[in-house]
Copies of this chain bind each other. A is one copy, B any other.
Amino acid sequence: MSLLQEEREIILSNEYVDAFDFAEVAEFVSGASKNLFISHHFRERDKMLVQPRGGFPTYEQQYALYEFFVDANVDVLPLTVDSNTRLNDYATAKKMLRLSEENDMDMLNGYPLVTHGYRTTRKMITHFNKPVSLRHGTPDARLLIETAIASGIFEIEGGPITYLLPYSKNFPLDKAFLYWKYVERVCANYSQLNEPINRESFGPLTATLVPPAITIVIQLLEMLLSLEEGVKSFSVSFSQQGSMNQDIVTGAVIKKLANHYAQQIGCDDAMINLVYHQWMGAFPANEDFAEQLINLATVIASMVGADKIITKTRQEATGIPTKEANAKTVADTQYSLRILNGLPTVVDEEEEEILTLEVRAIMEAVFNDPADTLWRKVFNSIKNGIIDVPFSPHIINQNEMITIRDARKNIRIIERGNVPIPERCYEYERSQCDLSKDTTSIVNDIIHDIGIMQ
């Protein structure tokens, strides 16, 4: 028995899991309908795929949500996991699920997948026969991913950086890397049985003033860590940033560099897709306005040339959206994509050049770290602030980079901290902003910039 398999058996012998039947699961994946694989749809698609977000505590609620989504002509179904399961607190998840079932009141902000288990969940997934995407935010997702794939969920979001720095306060970083290595290998192995399992990185990060250079570097690194382990279908992603032009530039640079770096490690056989998230930051409380924002995001996604869009709802500012509101966004987004014709091609060479230089400089600094493996290089780079994510709650994050919006609402780096932004780029970024203000007004500007869409 391989080391990996030994580890798998340990993880899956757990008081919260019913006996896990490895052989049966492998057989299920081998024979599973191609329709369940988003990698298959990416290859065949002739339009941007539309995927909402959504997870409810009970099986019945989740099932009803999927019915609504299918009526709204969804392309990819979501399975969003609750925050207790995300932090491996299965005991609380179990308790809150029971409370939710008994009290007719939701005590969980997502679907507790481990608690429901794969046998139950698979019924639902195969019934709808649409690709499902697992959205979680879990640093240690080993048990969760095994349960997901066994359920028929063949797209796994996240990664050791993107699901850690925005989602955790003190989960040890090195552990996260090792746990995700496990996830990548499990995905790579299952990919040999049928269509590839797709892995997707979570580009939005904290969704709060993250500059594109940081987003792209993290996307590229998670892609490389995944391809290294044998994953054959990977999506890089980012979310609406507040400036249409900056989004278009970001999309162009990320596509170009993803292919470049995949090639560098000899993985050009892997399929790389681009995913765009509708605005992930603070939403307007006015639900009509929220819809304008959502629609604008769809327009930008088209201009960016995304392969998939992940949607929000008019209720984002309020709380977990109802299934009606969620399905409405899907139908509206599909309509918008249908009428979005004659999109112009936009190229901003100067901004692309600056951004490319920044990303390459940071990547080089990471590669130059003396550690022996990529994951250790990345680990060190986060520890010493070569990678620094604004508004990360994690204690290991440096928090020294300061960003602000310029007059055209581009996110600009005004303090680079330890991030090796090349001199020329740094000067360019700062030259776009008014830095003559005092600290209090800059803090006020930052608060304003966070609420820019409100």
Chain A interface (Cβ < 8 Å from any Cβ of B): 242-248, 284, 286, 288-289, 291-293, 295-296, 298-299, 303, 328, 331-332, 335-336, 339-344, 346, 348, 408-410, 452-453
Contacts and interface: CB of A to CB of B under 8 A. Distances in A.
Given A295-B292, A295-B295, A409 B342 contact: yes
Contact of A245 (B343, B452, B453): B343
A289 B290 CA distance: 15
A328 B287 CA distance: 12
Question: Which residue, of A292, A293, A296, has the highest number of chain B Cβ atoms within 10 A?
Answer: A292
Given A295-B296, A296-B336, A248 B344 contact: yes
Given A296-B299, A299-B299, A340 B244 contact: yes
Nearest to A328: B288
A293 B336 CA distance: 7
A242 B342 contact: yes
A432 to B, nearest CB: 11
Contacts of A247: 342
A244 B339 contact: no
A410 B341 CA distance: 8
Given A284-B335, A289-B332, A342 B296 contact: no
Nearest to A289: B335
4 nearest interchain CB pairs? A243-B342, A341-B409, A245-B342, A295-B295
Contacts of A331: 288-289
A243 B292 contact: no
Contacts of A452: 339, 341
Given A328-B288, A332-B288, A296 B339 contact: yes
| Max chain B C-beta neighbours (<10 A), residue from A248, A336, A452 | A336
Contacts of A245: 342-344
Given A284-B335, A288-B331, A289-B335, A408 B296 contact: no
B292 A332 contact: yes
Nearest to A454: B339
A243 B248 CA distance: 19
Given A284-B335, A299-B299, A328-B288, A342 B293 contact: no
Q: From A298, A340, A341, A342, name the one whose CB has the most chain B CB atoms within 10 angstroms.
A: A342
Contact of A344 (B242, B244, B339): B244
Nearest to A348: B344
B342 A410 contact: yes
Nearest to A331: B288
Given A289-B332, A332-B289, A342 B295 contact: no
B341 A243 contact: yes
Given A299-B299, A346-B344, A339 B248 contact: no
A245 B292 CA distance: 21
A409 B227 CA distance: 39
A339 B243 CA distance: 9
A452 B296 CA distance: 20
A344 B344 CA distance: 10
A293 B341 contact: no
A295 B299 CA distance: 10
Contacts of A243: 341-342
Contacts of A288: 328, 331-332, 335
